[in-house]
Structure 1
Amino acid sequence: MLSNTAQLFHHVSSLIDHVSYFLNAAPLASVALFTLAVIFVWFVSSSTWQYYRLRHFDGPVLAEISNFWLFKSVDSGRSYLDFWEVTQKYGTIARVGLNDLVTDDPAFVKHMCNVKTDYRRSSWYDGMRFNPTSNNCLSTRDETAHTALRSKMAAGYAGRDVDNIEAKIDTNVREFMGLLGRYADRKAPVDLGRKVQYFTLDVISDIAYGAPFGFVETDTDVYEYIKTTEKNLPMVMVVTVFPWLLRLLNNPILKGLLPSAKDKLGFGRIMSIAKDVAAERFKPDVKAERDMLGSFIRHGLTQTESESEILLQIAAGSDTTASAIRSTMLELCANPDILRKLRQEIASANIAGDVISDSEAKVLPYLQAVIKEGFRIFPPIAGLMSKEVPPQGDTWNGVFIPGGTRVGYSIWAITRRRDVWGQDALEFRPERWLNVSPDKLKDMESTLDLIFSYGRWLCLGKSIALIELNKVFVEGTR
């Protein structure tokens, strides 16, 4: 045994000596050619091994032999459609990359995300690190750290020790309606999609740390935040698929390409604001505020964690809610009969104040059906949110999935499954949520809730988003 080991060591040492001699003696061009050859051999062998691991899953040919199909899809901005089409063509679990699968099976998604699951967040979540140097609750992959973060923020998101969340939303609704009213008075065209994003950004900044950014008040893209975000969003989605790009961009040579708190405009300016707001709250003897950030700090959030969570609230909390409002309003405008029914229900409702309360809105069945159907027909989350299969692998419906595989889910495909939603699943029809059996309604609602993730990774901001929607559709249509 020792003799064999000694011989192996001798052969390896000899090979290293030969390679070292070649690198030292050969011309630079030869060394470069040799390096390229080694990289090529590594790439081919790695790709072949990855292909072999998942060969029993079908998908686009290019996705089976490389990650180029996945890159092209997320870079195009239509990945949500591509993933839906893939599941339609290749099955409920399909291949979209060398180590990536996508599913439209709601039961499988719940299996991956339940509180006792062995699945973990995959490297996809590294791309959700809005501050490149620190994690937030969404990008944190370590389960112990993630659980600790959620426990510090749960009370704030639930509003248990935050003053006047609904009142602040009401104030921002009034400001938003006033802005639209001014356009109407002038009979001027208005870009409703853009103004909606002004509204959601002001709401989240107001309830998160006590003051709206002023998008609605100034009727401008403050700090050119929206312009910069829209420009850079495709790159963010590419990083979720290729997280090594984030490490590359953090290299000192390329770091200047990333947003910085020194920037005067764009996302970097928002980073600077987050840094300043957090620093102000951690000054000695500062008065504890009764807003969400104050709640987070009272429950143990550090200054660095506070900066990251402010960024997450702004980037994720505003855009998703704005998408839900815009898409649902578009459907209401395109379906006058549905809009008429909604207006009739609102007109007959007993609304006490000038802005409907959350509790009043929750008892309006057609309004709730419209909100649910809006989420279903255009889910505001398009990313894969991939989870990593546990090291020992997993078997689902008799099919083995190797450990380490990234499995994402297409929420667009899930909300179009005819076995859940009926043969008219492609139509915007709020009536599907009414006059349905309790069991069927429960199944539909639990499937729709996957928009907000599930189990241990359920979105903390869900309740706040629903309050905004309950109010804006009433005030915007009556």
Structure 2
Amino acid sequence: MYEQLFPTSIWFLAIFAASACTYVIYQYVFSPLASFPGPLAAKFTKVWRAYGMYKGTWHRDIVDLHRKYGPVVRIGPNELSVGDPEAFRQIYRVSKAFPKGASYSVVQGTRPFDLANERNEKIHAAQRRLVARPYSMESTKRFEPQIDVLLDTLLHKLDDFAKSSQIFDLGFWIQLYAFDVIGTVSFSKPFGFISSGTDNAIFERIQKAMDSAAWLMHARWFFNLHQNVIKPIFGNWLALNDRHGYFFQFSKDEVEKRKGKPGKDIAGQLFQAQAAGGQPNDLAITFMMTTNVFAGSDTTAIAMRAIFLNLLHNPQMLKKLRADLQEQCSSSSGSIVNSSEAESSPYLQAVIYEGLRIFPSVAFVLDRDVPPEGMTIIGKYIPGGTVVGTSPWVIHRVQEIWGADADEFRPERWLDEERIGELRRFFFAFGGGTRTCIGRRQYQGAFTITWLEMEKLIAALVMRYDFELADDANITEKCG
């Protein structure tokens, strides 16, 4: 028996070794991506990219990789990170859009309605049409009085710290504000986080779920194994499932309480659309509100915290912003400016753009699938089915676009009327092409929810307080 098994084992090992060698030689020499530089391990396995995301430093690491290897870096056996401006505009174009990569299917899971992660362009377009109106400029303006109430509550809380010159965590209070804004615009009532001064541990759950999603997007085999084998037997071990579990139930409860009541909040407008035409249904509304709760507050809070950190590191810019606001917003009652006044402050708008450029909330490469006809990047043909994409952290630091000071926080670059159109073409903080965030700012003088809550908070705090960074400030970098 041993003599019969021994040759079989030898043959099995030989076949395995030969297959492995063939795979390595193909990826290194004959693959269509073989000529693109990148880390050695990335050429052979997606584990390298998954581990890079797991470490939590990917947003900085991917920038370093491009500085080492050039405008196009191979980050997987069939994946390229692109920092070339021409290729970037082709990948994220509006006409004949490149579909989202398979990595998004991990975050979508089994959700039939997922505006952020739906890969099919036709389905996404139909879903976006269903929910677009509540996020429009016209609808956003209706939310301003409620946001003013939240800001007033926040300012009274911060006044207590100011009177005692007490050191406090401004970033935490900014996130409380962002989450309460989401409650207000979604369900006509805040979640009470500002008034209570606590988040009930929700922020930690969001962060863990985001961290979990980051690496699982590139380890689909493990995610599928967990969902189909591990979870049914041993229970849930992945924080990502909070998106479909805890936060879905949280939003479902709010939607149920909101149903049947009048109001112009987002949920109310979606229910009105449902009454008029039958769509979106209750499940789709709940999924949309889950996205608001899960991602809408966190990404906005990251952006606002980054803006304040950069202003504190650059006190001359903080002083300039305060002077510009005082000049443009002199008619404001108290220190809460209205949206028109905020829009009229050129330096405030420049500060927001620059803060989002230098520290975009989205830290990963936004994967897209090359269409069947293929594409050309820096003179090299890329076959259909290849995964290509760009990180906002990479494209926002390309010196060809932003200049030799691309790594510096310099709002003045957005005041150059001759260049602002070009800069906006490569502004990627809200995504690009057909898949831009539904809460992004519009470029024709209009604004939507995300921009409105940012400009009002920043203006209010800058005009009311003098800030200093604490000597022992604990600064950590976390992105979505």
TM-score norm. by structure 1 comes to: 0.84
Q: 1:379 maps to which residue?
A: 360
Amino acid at match of 1:430: P
Amino acid at match of 1:351: S
Q: Once the two structures are aligned, what percentage of the paired residues are identical? A: 30
**Given the alignment of the two structures, is residue 112 of structure 1 paired with residue 94 of structure 2, yes or no?**
no
Amino acid at match of 1:471: K
Q: 2:389 maps to which residue?
A: 408
Equivalent residue for 2:251, pick from 274, 281, 287: 274
Q: 1:9 maps to which residue?
A: none
Q: 1:5 maps to which residue?
A: none
Amino acid at match of 1:57: F
Equivalent residue for 2:53, pick from 48, 54, 74: 74
Cα pair distance change 1:262/1:117, threshold 3 Å: closer
Q: For residues 361 and 231 of structure 1, what CA distance do their matches in structure 2 show?
A: 34
Cα pair distance change 1:380/1:120, threshold 3 Å: same
Amino acid at match of 2:398: R
Equivalent residue for 1:230, pick from 196, 202, 207: 207
Q: 1:475 maps to which residue?
A: 460
Equivalent residue for 1:445, pick from 424, 431, 451: 424
Whether the aligned pair in 1 keeps the contact of 2:47 and 2:219 (CA below 8 Å) is: no
Whether the aligned pair in 2 keeps the contact of 1:261 and 1:269 (CA below 8 Å) is: no
Between structures 1 and 2, the one with greater helix share: 1
Q: For residues 334 and 90 of structure 1, what CA distance do their matches in structure 2 show?
A: 31
Equivalent residue for 2:149, pick from 168, 171, 182: 171
Q: 2:474 maps to which residue?
A: none
Q: For residues 139 and 205 of structure 2, what CA distance do their matches in structure 1 show?
A: 34
Cα pair distance change 1:330/1:137, threshold 3 Å: same
Equivalent residue for 2:290, pick from 311, 321, 324: 311
Equivalent residue for 1:199, pick from 177, 202, 220: 177
Whether the aligned pair in 1 keeps the contact of 2:180 and 2:190 (CA below 8 Å) is: yes
Cα pair distance change 1:240/1:33, threshold 3 Å: farther
Amino acid at match of 1:291: D
Q: 1:243 maps to which residue?
A: 220
Q: For residues 58 and 166 of structure 2, what CA distance do their matches in structure 1 show?
A: 35
Larger mean Cα displacement after TM superposition, 364-373 or 44-53: 44-53
Q: Aligned with 1:452: secondary structure?
A: coil
Q: For residues 75 and 44 of structure 1, what CA distance do their matches in structure 2 show?
A: 28
Shift of 1:171: 1.7
Q: For residues 21 and 111 of structure 2, what CA distance do their matches in structure 1 show?
A: 33
Shift of 1:105: 2.4
- After superposition, the CA RMSD in angstroms is 3.0
**Given the alignment of the two structures, is residue 333 of structure 1 paired with residue 333 of structure 2, yes or no?**
no
Whether the aligned pair in 1 keeps the contact of 2:92 and 2:98 (CA below 8 Å) is: yes
Q: 2:166 maps to which residue?
A: 188
Q: 1:10 maps to which residue?
A: none
**Given the alignment of the two structures, is residue 136 of structure 1 paired with residue 114 of structure 2, yes or no?**
yes
Whether the aligned pair in 1 keeps the contact of 2:80 and 2:389 (CA below 8 Å) is: yes
Q: 1:17 maps to which residue?
A: none
State the Cα deviation string for residues 83-102 of structure 1 (Å, max 9, x = none): 11111221211101112110
Whether the aligned pair in 1 keeps the contact of 2:134 and 2:266 (CA below 8 Å) is: yes
Shift of 1:115: 2.2
Whether the aligned pair in 1 keeps the contact of 2:255 and 2:286 (CA below 8 Å) is: yes
TM-score norm. by structure 2 comes to: 0.84
Q: Which runs of 5+ in 1 are unaligned?
A: 1-21
Shift of 1:426: 1.5
Shift of 1:148: 0.8
Based on CA coordinates, which of the two structures has the bigger radius of gyration? 1
| Number of equivalent positions | 443
Larger mean Cα displacement after TM superposition, 466-475 or 113-122: 113-122
Q: For residues 187 and 17 of structure 2, what CA distance do their matches in structure 1 show?
A: 52
State the Cα deviation string for residues 346-373 of structure 1 (Å, max 9, x = none): 2222333331111111111111111111
Larger mean Cα displacement after TM superposition, 34-43 or 147-156: 34-43
Q: 1:457 maps to which residue?
A: 435
Amino acid at match of 2:196: T
Whether the aligned pair in 1 keeps the contact of 2:210 and 2:240 (CA below 8 Å) is: no
Whether the aligned pair in 1 keeps the contact of 2:133 and 2:139 (CA below 8 Å) is: yes
Shift of 1:304: 1.7
Amino acid at match of 2:156: G
Q: 2:302 maps to which residue?
A: 323
Q: 1:153 maps to which residue?
A: 131
Q: For residues 70 and 120 of structure 2, what CA distance do their matches in structure 1 show?
A: 32
Q: For residues 333 and 83 of structure 2, what CA distance do their matches in structure 1 show?
A: 43
Shift of 1:259: 7.3
Q: 2:332 maps to which residue?
A: 352
Q: Aligned with 1:408: secondary structure?
A: strand
Cα pair distance change 1:246/1:457, threshold 3 Å: same
Shift of 1:124: 2.1
Amino acid at match of 2:264: R
Amino acid at match of 2:302: S
Please list, as runs of the form range in 1=range in 2, the aligned pairs for 1:287-302 lying within 5 A after superposition: 287-299=261-273, 300-302=279-281
